[in-house]
Copies of this chain bind each other. A is one copy, B any other.
Amino acid sequence: MASLKELARIVGVSPTTVSFALNGRSKEMRISEELTSRILKVAEETGYRPNNIAVALRTGQTKIIGLIVEDIANHFFSTLAKTIEEEANLFDYKVVYCSTENDDEKGEGLLDMLQQQQVDGYLITPTSGMRNKIGKLINRKIPLVLIDRYFEDMECPHVMVNNFEGIVKGVNLLIKKGYKKISFITPDLDLMQMKEREKGFIAALEKQHLYKSKKQILKVDYKDGGKKEAIEKIKTYLKTESPEAVVFATNYIGIHGLQAIKELKLKIPDDLAVICFDDNEVFDLCTPSITAISQPIEDIARTAVKILMGELGVTRKSAKKLVRIPTEIINRESA
């Protein structure tokens, strides 16, 4: 409520002087120690807080970073968001976050909105349709780091998990345990990381000559319907193909898959072994518990913030700006 001007009036000096004193520029600006401490005292007493809006307008810095995730209600993204917030706070930055719902239009809208809010930098898990707008930001040298996905042939800092290697590790585990007829169930999304996971699956199988047919891959199109339809599709697939083991490409398709398996009354891992990309608290609780290829979320978050702080000039620029975080296999009972 109290403004700089008012503080100045109370102390009986000019706003300029108060500003210098509060910003620790007293020595530099030759404000006497006595006056400085008087100002500080009054500021303390009146509980003065600078108006960030005014500061932002004047300095051109909001000290805010915009975080765009796919869906904040999803465990992966909310944990990501939380860690990013904590990490950014260490550098005195605030975070505003929003969800694209994987909708191109919504994503572009959010980008516009954040620009209007004059955020200083961006952390984004982009949808494919955001390519253009992101390209423009990059041309304008706006600090920006992509998370969890990236665009080919667009030079832009990004940090994501090593999807290819992660799936390969998972498949190799299944092969080692003796499973031969292995399937891959993935959402049908046009995203880099999905392609990488699929490539990892095929590569790992081909190395052991176990990739026989395209039917070993099921792509579930969520545009056709929601959860229920997905579960039905998976049930149908499992019945007709009856694989010995299955790798789910994401956390949520894994959950739908488990539901399908439960409804088919298949025994894990005897009837069907299961591995899922991306861990989930649920997996630990299931009976049997589900083996997962886990993404070190905190790692991803911290790395992304670190790079962004470099771009923002808060810390010195990171050398590595295209980071792949290795996955970790969480061995449980399902495979």
State whether A94 touches B96 (Cβ < 8 A): yes
| Interface presence of A14 (CB below 8 A) | no
Known A-B contacts A118-B51, A255-B285; the reply to A73 vs B62 at CB < 8 A is: no
State whether B116 touches A50 (Cβ < 8 A): yes
| Interface presence of A250 (CB below 8 A) | no
State whether B49 touches A112 (Cβ < 8 A): yes
Contact residues of A: prevailing secondary structure = helix
* Cα(A229)–Cα(B209), bound, Å: 47
Question: How many residues of chain A are within 8 Å of chain B by beta carbon?
Answer: 42
Interface flags, A38-74, vs B, CB<8A=1, else 0: 0000000000011111101100001000000001111
| Interface presence of A99 (CB below 8 A) | yes
**25 A–B contacts, CB within 8 A, in A order:** A1-B140, A49-B115, A49-B116, A50-B116, A52-B117, A53-B53, A53-B57, A57-B57, A71-B82, A72-B72, A72-B82, A73-B75, A78-B78, A82-B99, A85-B99, A94-B96, A94-B117, A96-B96, A97-B97, A255-B281, A255-B285, A259-B285, A285-B286, A286-B286, A286-B287
Since A72-B72, A72-B78 are in contact, a sample of 8 more A-B pairs with Cβ atoms closer than 8 Å, ordered by chain A residue number, is A49-B112, A49-B116, A53-B62, A72-B82, A73-B82, A74-B78, A286-B286, A287-B287
Which 10 residue pairs spanning A and B have beta carbons closest together?
A: A78-B78, A282-B282, A73-B82, A96-B96, A52-B116, A73-B79, A73-B78, A287-B287, A53-B56, A53-B57
